[in-house]
Amino acid sequence: MTLMQGSAVRSFVVARIASGLVSILFISFLVFLGTALLPGDAATAMLGQEATPELVESLRQALGLDQPLLIRYLNWLWDALHGDFGVSLSNGQPAMAMLLPRLENSLILAFSAAVIVLPLAISIGLVAAIKKGRPFDTMSGLVSALFLSMPSFMIGYVLIYVFAVEFRLFPAVSSVRASTSLTGWAWALTLPVLTLVLVAQSHVLKVTRAAVLGVMGSDYILMAETKGIPRIRIILLHALPNALSSIVSICMITMAHLIVDVVVIEAVFSYPGMGKLMVDAVAYRDIPVVQACGVLFSAIFVVLNMLADLLGVLVNPRQRLPRRGV
Amino acid sequence: MTEGLKLSRRRLLELTAMSGAMVLAPRLAWAGEPQRGGHLVISSGGAAAGDSLDPRTFNSPYGAAMSGIIYNNLIAVQGPNKELVPELAHSWEAINGGLSWVFNLVEGVEFHNGKILTSEDVVFSLRRHAEPDSRSSMRSVISNLVDIRADGDHRVIIDLPAVNYLFPAYMAHFTLGIVPAGTTDFTGIGTGGYKVTNFAPGEVLEMVRHENYFKPNAAFVDSVELLAINDPSALTAAFQSGQVNMTSGLDARSAGLLESMANLRIFKMEGGGYISFNMRCDIPPFDNPDMRLALKLAVDREDMLQRVGAGVGSIGNDTPVPSNDAVFSPNVEQKRYDPERARALFESVGYTGPIVLHTSDAISSRAVDMATVFQEHAARAGIPIEVQRDPADGYWNSVVGVAPFHVSARSARPTADAIFSTAFLGTSENNECKWVNEEFDAAIIAARAEENLERRLALYERAQEICSVDGGTMIPFFSATVQGTSADVDGFNVGAVELNGYRAVEQVWFT
């Protein structure tokens, strides 16, 4: 029995990882195709208003834009598999070298937000479940829905207006660099992290509340209640472990969304992360950098989704049973 | 007003043509005396992670700002009348009847690495722009020159293909910063008032004072930080909150609100940049001059300036020469909104198809507003305009200069010759309207070679007349630059070129 269970888990993990890799490969093709289909080619876009036909032609040859699309994709993929996404069109630096320090900054931002938002939203969700139908539940639901329905950049601008322009507590532009002190980082990160927390809290809060309340309707909870166990003890020890699977999944998916939301938030706060790099690269048609950012963002997204599935299985013993042959 | 204009116009032309005694732009009267010290934070948009410190690659507002702090040119542009003032060249003069220009260099100028400036550095720095791998925006100008040569250690001679008395103004272009001869790795070694301590492309440029700076009364603050803020809302917020001490590129529409804040000083300046409606003169119906004139009379310029430019700017007359330019002619008749005459002209053309005006956010959000406002004006003259809003991606290369009727834009140039030569001469590759008028071309070419000021002004007057009536470019108004400093910054002078010819950083101090 245990042997069979173990192999079932193993094959599930292998299958999940394989499907993740196929997704990333497929996305890489979409990213390449998307950048290739941008109107006007990179050569004319780079030269802009100063373009002359002679300059454009020499640049097109230098960029290899005269070759067929599929050949260009396969060449690019082969290099990318070796960690080489080509060199930036604007300054000749390797795209990966430009990207890695920015990726680090983005991860600092996203994880700072995650460390705050996950425990906070889960706690509020639990309390809302405990106090179902009471004023706390209603209010937390309302506030949470309010921030969910506002676009993230809008929340950013409102926070800048209130905390940077009116009260001057925090900087409007989060300019950080290697020489910035730890307190400097904290000061600069406060508003962007707060924005991300407000954007990301809603789903975790709602799923936690709904999952716990869903389990609360089960027979064994009724049994516990009739035994006279206090409600808070029932929720923490009986309901929460059984709701954990969906909570862990939503946490992972929320982290994936945080990574994506930083693209917008970094532009709003001029924070030197990968999102801002990508936005700038699109504006300046720096195709290799756009491609590298696109593939890296989607890889992070796919990996976190995969972790959501795997952890969901690991914390819920029932899902470890073979799915076939019921 | 006209008198003052004439005086400064004459002074500019004298300076350009003969380079007599060089006068520094008079400082505005400020209460305090300059003081040393402090940390200045300025900001600019247009930055990218691919930026480099090689002056040849500068092509954005951010690059221009960097150039003006760490590098010097031979000549700088100062003040509202775009006066040419000495920088690394203390004087300049035309020889060989205007076919060659001599630039006499200041002696003892020290680069950030201790090297002393000689004419070899200037020759090296200028010639680089014409190299085959150069993507410099000055490439066409430099590669058309006959020669750039050193004559001794402190004289540089530039030989032109044709007489041009307006040539020195080119030397003030921000890409023509001077670097030490033989530089291959551009780490920001220049002669400017501040030397680079840290450069993170697309993020920040940090600098400290160059203690041996050759200008005696300049570079007052101890250290400077140039922040890259591309998002216009973030820029305004950072400036309002006091995080940034000085900035250009503020939105004209928020100027009024910013002016009411006690902690800020706002400077508005009529600029030479504009957003235009381009009519392709080689495609019907715009090949008919009556059609072009009908459309030019169908735009209410005052209304457009108020509604799109928030009243900050100046009315245009379909020539690229703004009224504060030295060669602007007040005698060219200003076109006014005349729906009746426009209607009559339009009906005489007899064109019945749709008139599609292409526009896009790629130019600016105002470009879209302008097209819509024009549609309304033209409708009152019975001219049906269809506004087509194109995606920003690729607009510059698939629509500008291609579509029969489209919105485009040009930034301010140091001289009327520069903008006429780039965008209006029949022989220019950058002539987006494909407008060819032999009399106009002849006037522009002749003006370059005309030593006599009155006769040169007359040539420019004729060129503006022809361009205004016959040209394919509609210029409803010139935009204004809106710049600002925090209230504790003194010594900021407003110039027609942003940040006073990009030299504001070395001119300001903290009170």
Place of tokens 């035309």: B94
pLDDT 10s digits, A244-262: 888 888 998 898 888 878 8
User: What is the band of B267 on the pLDDT scale with cuts at 50, 70, 90?
Assistant: very high
A319 and B CB contact within 8 Å = no
Q: Is the pLDDT of residue B26 over 80?
A: no
Chain A, 235 to 274: residues with Cβ < 8 Å from chain B are 267-270, 272
pLDDT 10s digits, B274-331: 999 999 999 989 999 999 999 999 999 999 999 888 888 889 999 999 988 889 999 9
Interface contact flag, A283 B47, Cβ < 8 Å: no
Interface contact flag, B203 A272, Cβ < 8 Å: yes
CA dist A98 and A276 (Å) reads 12
Q: Do A310 and A20 form a contact (C-beta atoms < 8 A)? A: no
**Which chain B positions have a beta carbon within 8 Å of A90's beta carbon?**
48-51
Q: Is the pLDDT of residue A264 over 90?
A: no
Instruction: Mean pLDDT check: name the lowest of A1-15, A124-138, A197-211.
Output: A1-15
CA dist B159 and B96 (Å) reads 9
Helix (H, G, I), strand (E, B) or coil at B355: strand
Which DSSP string do the residues of B7-61 spell out, in sequence order?
HHHHHHHHHHHH--S--PPPPP--SSPP----EEEEEES---TT--S-GGG--SH
Q: How many residues in total does chain A contain?
A: 326
A47 and B CB contact within 8 Å = yes
pLDDT score recorded for residue B202: 86
pLDDT 10s digits, A110-149: 999 999 999 999 999 999 988 889 999 999 999 999 999 9
Chain A, 93 to 112: residues with Cβ < 8 Å from chain B are 93, 98, 102
Tokens of A161: 């207006």
**Which chain B positions have a beta carbon within 8 Å of A188's beta carbon?**
none
Among residues A292, A296, A267, which one has the least CA distance to residue A280? A267
CA dist B442 and B438 (Å) reads 6
Q: Which among A99, A165, A271, A289 is the top mutation candidate for probing chain B, defined by the most B β-carbons within 10 Å of its own β-carbon? A: A165
Q: Is the pLDDT of residue B141 over 70?
A: yes
Query: Chain A: nearest CA to B391, how far in angstroms?
Result: 9
Instruction: Mean pLDDT check: name the lowest of A184-188, B34-38, B413-417, B504-508.
Output: B413-417
Mean pLDDT of A192-197: 95
Interface contact flag, B240 A172, Cβ < 8 Å: yes
Q: Do B238 and B229 form a contact (C-beta atoms < 8 A)? A: yes
**Which ipTM value was assigned to this complex?**
0.78
Instruction: Mean pLDDT check: name the lowest of A160-164, A314-318, B197-201.
Output: A314-318
User: What is the band of A233 on the pLDDT scale with cuts at 50, 70, 90?
Assistant: confident
Which residue has better confidence, A60 or B74? Answer: B74
**What crossing angle do the helices spanning A287-315 and A69-81 adopt, rounded to 10°?**
60
CA-based angle A84:A85:A89, to the nearest 5? 125
B186 and A CB contact within 8 Å = no
**Which chain B positions have a beta carbon within 8 Å of A278's beta carbon?**
none
Q: Is the pLDDT of residue B352 over 90?
A: no
**Which chain A positions have a beta carbon within 8 Å of B187's beta carbon?**
none
Among residues A217, A214, A202, A223, which one has the least CA distance to residue A245? A214
Of the candidates B43, B137, B243, the beta carbon closest to that of A171 is on: B243
Mean pLDDT of B172-181: 94
**Which chain A positions have a beta carbon within 8 Å of B398's beta carbon?**
39-40
Q: Which helix (H) or strand (E) holds A65?
A: none
Interface contact flag, A270 B238, Cβ < 8 Å: yes
Mean pLDDT (chain B) is: 88
At A222, the amino acid letter reads: L
Interface contact flag, B241 A164, Cβ < 8 Å: yes
Among residues A263, A289, A247, A246, which one has the least CA distance to residue A110? A263
- Single pTM value for the model: 0.81
B347 and A CB contact within 8 Å = no
**Which chain A positions have a beta carbon within 8 Å of B129's beta carbon?**
none
Q: Which residue of B has its CA nearest to A283?
A: B393
Helix (H, G, I), strand (E, B) or coil at A34: helix
CA dist A21 and B163 (Å) reads 66
